[in-house]
């Protein structure tokens, strides 16, 4: 499984594409412990909306077969002006 992009704003809201296999049967996507809204595009791809967060978290996908290994996603703060 892969996550693109691997980083986003702490406010969340950006679109994250996950690719792998068996994703069409996904029942949940989580960024760390925070659930994410998602749409399965195909068996090999889904699109999730990153929730707000901080630091580096593990993105996981749950299907009827279990929960995937986590992949790192890093929240980055906006620059202060």
Looking at residue 59, its pLDDT comes to 98
Looking at residue 16, its pLDDT comes to 98
- Here the tokens at position 9 are 């704003």
Looking at residue 81, its pLDDT comes to 83
Looking at residue 66, its pLDDT comes to 95
CB-based burial, 7-21: b 16+ in 10 Å, e otherwise: ebeeebeeebebebe
Looking at residue 61, its pLDDT comes to 97
Mean pLDDT by 10 residues, the chain (81 residues): 95 96 96 97 97 97 95 92 83
Domain boundaries, the chain: 2-76
Question: Cis before residue 5, ω within 30 degrees of 0?
Answer: yes
Assess if CATH 2.60.40.10 describes domain 2-76.
Answer: yes
Looking at residue 3, its pLDDT comes to 96
Residue 25's SS3 state is helix
Q: Quote the CA–CA distance of 10 and 50 in Å, as a whole number.
A: 9
The total number of residues written for the chain in this structure: 81
């Amino acid at each position: 499984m892969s996550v693109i992009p691997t980083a986003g704003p702490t406010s969340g809201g950006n679109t994250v594409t996950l690719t792998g296999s068996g994703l069409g049967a996904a029942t949940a996507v989580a960024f760390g412990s925070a659930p994410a809204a998602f749409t399965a595009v195909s068996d090999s791809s889904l699109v999730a909306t990153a929730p707000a967060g901080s630091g580096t978290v593990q993105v996981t996908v749950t299907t009827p077969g279990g929960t995937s290994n986590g992949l790192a996603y890093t929240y980055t703060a906006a620059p202060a002006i």
